[in-house]
A and B are shown apart, each in its own frame.
Chain A
Amino acid sequence: MALTRTTSGERWRIRPDGPDKVTGKLAYLTDMYQEGMLIGRVLRSPHPHAGIVSIRTDKAKRIPGVHAVITHADVPGMNRFGIVNPDQPVLCEDRVRYIGDAIAAVAAETQEIAALALESIEVEYVLLPVVDDPAFAQTKQAPRLHPGGNVLHRNQYGHGEVGKGFAKCKHIVEESYSTPRQMHTYMETEGGLFIPEDGGRLTVYSPTQHGYKDRMQLARILGLPEFNIRVVSSPIGGSFGGKDELNVQPYGALLALVTGKPVKIHNSRYESVRAGLKRHPMKIKMRTGVDENGRIMAHQVHIVADTGAYATLGAEVLNFAIEHVTGPYTYESVEVEGVSVYTNNGVSGEFRGFGGNQAIFALEGQMDRLAEKLGMDPWEFRLANMRKPEDPGPLGQTIVRTDGAMRTWESLARSPIWLRRHDRRTSEPWIRRGTGAAIAMHGSGLGFGIPDPAGGMLALAEDGKIEAIFGYEEFGQGLIATLELMLIEQFGFGAEDVRIVIGDTDLVPHSGSSTASRATSMMWKSLQKLRGPFLDRMLNEASKLLSQPADNLRIGRGGIWDKSGEHLLLTYALLARNISEEIRFQTHFPFPVSPTKRVGAHYLYTYAAVAVEVEVNVLTGRVKVLKQFHAIAAGPVMNPQGFLGQIEGGSGMAVGFALTEDSLMERGAYLTRNLDTYLIPSYADLNGEIEVHAIEELPEDDDHGPRGVGEIGSVCIAPAISEAVFQATGKRVNKLPIDPELLQETPDFLAKAVDGI
């Protein structure tokens, strides 16, 4: 059934954070203000690659109204950051490796004084050759960007012998795919308020996807014990992976500690563009062959990822791409190799889809090309090679038994868009119509071998509110709303009975990160574990107070009711006031992982099958997505509005990835510096029809519950659009975003006019 407001009935609710969002009352962390606060700014390198000869700050320091100018010499702890591999300088010592590298930071009384102070810092550079091509970066002639060379990470996977496999092939498709340097483009740029507190503590109000991880990294940089830092990290004006790594926090924190005053930083858009992460541009070469029956005999893949100047999660992204270039298919032989290479092209890192988007674009492109060679329907061709429920995962690992691939495949095969795919009629001769489809499996959680803790807490607060306390973040996905709905549906509380506490390291337990499509599933699991003990304890306490056996009581809206549900016997407020001992339960457990010991390999997967109908204007070369159909198998839907929003939002972002978005660089400098040239989809680009089908049933023995859907909506759109464009124009796309010039045709009437001369 299509997931809509109507089909969701009462489960479609107004989000608890909604009223403050539509009235503008919600204070984002970058809206905060404190009397006497200073403005922080960061001096960033104008060069993509240079040695630093000297940094002179005396002039800047002498400007009235400037309270601090800091450089690497002022970093008390480790002058590096990076979630897994801390190789990025907080403030560069002797070398800059990208156009956003930070050299100094200032705190001043006004924006204007801060800007003047930045200009007054004198840095002498010696320019070094720019490494802007990952292929060149791997050669002997290339300057070494890091002590270990220019390769961040290499990995591979294989089974069978591709040489033998190819020998059996009737058709072989060889193609090289490239993908753009997509920008997250959260509407709220990075920033926050940093407040030094009494007793040497520091409060950091700044968006991140994992408050505790920021706290750990900041403690390392500041040389402070972790408990001296409080990180308040929600609400967030969008992140999509882009605020997962530290951004302005080290500078705000250092400046606040040095000046002893609150410091506010809020990046301009260009600063966000130059300093922030991007999606890894990848070049993916694939060679794939089928026998005369259409069975895939061999699949050979080579991935080169441009990771930019520093590591952040570049290695993990490459591992994810390697895992996802084979998809929900079986092969007689596979050989995948990948390398993630340092360059001076900004910094690439974590981004919704996490390497899956690039991998699936290439893989699904191969499937469509092979089907064409075989003269087979592309959807039937996929079915002929599809994995079976008990097959191992893409890296040969044990995974939870799943029929998601088949279920989404079937759902799409019956979709109206797919059934009318051969109807190509359009209103004008220069408009062409086409339909394409793609399918994917996408891992959730961080994968084997990477610490992936989860958990949460339930408590009855003194004022009688039921507190659900989690270390997750709200960046718009609707986590608070989902948690509220779970508490209503699974516990029987009323919305007004509960208080949700998130995003504050002083208050919340370790729950792991809000990334990798994991938070919803981990909240669900936490509540499953907490439900029994928490409710039992509540009923037992109530039974003592009411002198009635617990069996006669039940939990309900507003308090404890009699079994029949007719009489409210005790409000939660009264219960809270009269208990002898606090009611508080906590749970802690790891995200489920495969027993197969392969780093990064996933255990739980979600599935998507997506069809799109597009129109191509062959005069302008522009593609418009008219209709989308998404079949998503991710277990039970916890929050219909949130689920739909994630699929619509993820796919909207992917339409940009396919059609318009690329952070263009020339010799390591950004050419697209703001939203006038970096084009994300607008209202008119995305007001076509979109239908989302949620396949909620899981195999009987699957007790892992709902999977997150933060990423799955974004991975199939690009290949589906590419195939639709091929159906419309006969032109194959191997590079994103699709270049309109590729699709432009000389209009008929011009050809005729020339003939007539």
Chain B
Amino acid sequence: MINKSLAERRSDKELECEINGQPMSLEVPPTRRLLAILRDDLQLTGTKVSCEIGRCGACMVLVDGRPVNSCLTMAYQCQGKKITTIEGIGQDEVDPIQQCFLEEGGYQCGYCTPGMIVSVKALLDDNRDPGIEDIEEALSGNLCRCTGYGGIVRSVHKAVQLRRNSS
């Protein structure tokens, strides 16, 4: 499923971490960016690339449950960490957050969507009842150019409500 051969070709130093629940040991330079490890080495292309300076959130992943820009994260910072990408969310059945995005139309081209969902997931895992300001803060690092955020606002509010009701 996950093809490690390319990553290992850059043999340098062992990176031990867990990606989407699967223990991995990869031989990559300590400074290789997590974004490149995911997209180029492991072909986990659900994580997107857009600005590479930590501004847009297209590359957002969870590292030990916290949202992180994978474009700004280096391999050595992932040592011993649990990394969750969009491929690791709703693996068996779609996550309620993903369902909300589907129903409310919280996406158009979909390029910002994985990062957006990762950020919402981080928010709701951490906070059962976020207010408007918490949501604004949680999504302050995720840009979307297509939707004008209308559908995203509706999706997130619905996901927040579901989370509230479930607790």
Contact = CB atoms under 8 A, between A and B. Distances in A.
Interface of A: 5, 12, 14-15, 17-28, 31, 33, 111, 184-189, 235-238, 240, 266, 268-269, 475-478, 641, 644-645, 648-653, 655, 674-676, 680-684, 686-687, 690
B72 interface: no
A185 B102 CA distance: 24
A30 to B, nearest CB: 8
Contacts of B149: 648, 652, 681, 683, 686-687
A187 B109 contact: yes
A683 B152 contact: yes
11 contacts: A14-B103, A21-B107, A21-B110, A23-B89, A28-B45, A186-B111, A649-B146, A653-B145, A674-B53, A681-B149, A682-B143
Given A17-B110, A185-B145, A683-B142, 9 more contacts: A18-B102, A22-B107, A23-B94, A27-B45, A187-B143, A683-B139, A683-B140, A686-B150, A687-B153
- The range of chain B's interface size is 35 or more
A184 B145 CA distance: 8
B153 A683 contact: yes
A22 B87 CA distance: 10
A618 B47 CA distance: 40
Given A33-B43, A676-B55, A684-B136, A478 B108 contact: yes
Contacts of A23: 46, 86-87, 89-90, 94, 98
A648 B53 contact: no
A494 B111 CA distance: 28
B52 interface: yes
A652 B48 CA distance: 22
Contacts of A644: 105, 150-151
Contacts, number: 177
B70 interface: no
A653 to B, nearest CB: 7
B68 interface: no
A651 B143 CA distance: 15
Contacts of A236: 109
A680 B117 contact: no
Contacts of A649: 108, 145-148, 150
A641 B105 contact: yes
B112 interface: yes
Given A18-B102, A22-B107, A674-B53, A645 B147 contact: yes
A186 B147 contact: no
Contacts of B132: 687
A397 to B, nearest CB: 33
Nearest to B5: A35
Contacts of B142: 682-683
A15 B89 CA distance: 20
Interface in B117-167: 117, 132, 135-136, 139-140, 142-154
B35 interface: no
Given A23-B98, A674-B55, A645 B108 contact: yes
B136 A237 contact: no
Contact of A237 (B89, B105, B109, B151): B109
Contacts of B104: 5
Given A188-B111, A683-B152, A652 B50 contact: no
A683 B142 CA distance: 8
A645 B105 contact: yes
A15 B107 CA distance: 10
Nearest to A686: B149
B42 to A, nearest CB: 11
A24 B109 contact: no
B113 A21 contact: yes
Contacts of B153: 683, 686-687
Interface in B46-105: 46-53, 55-56, 58, 85-87, 89-90, 94, 98, 101-105
A17 B108 CA distance: 9
B4 to A, nearest CB: 14
A84 to B, nearest CB: 26
B113 A238 contact: no
A22 B148 contact: no
B146 A476 contact: yes
A683 to B, nearest CB: 4
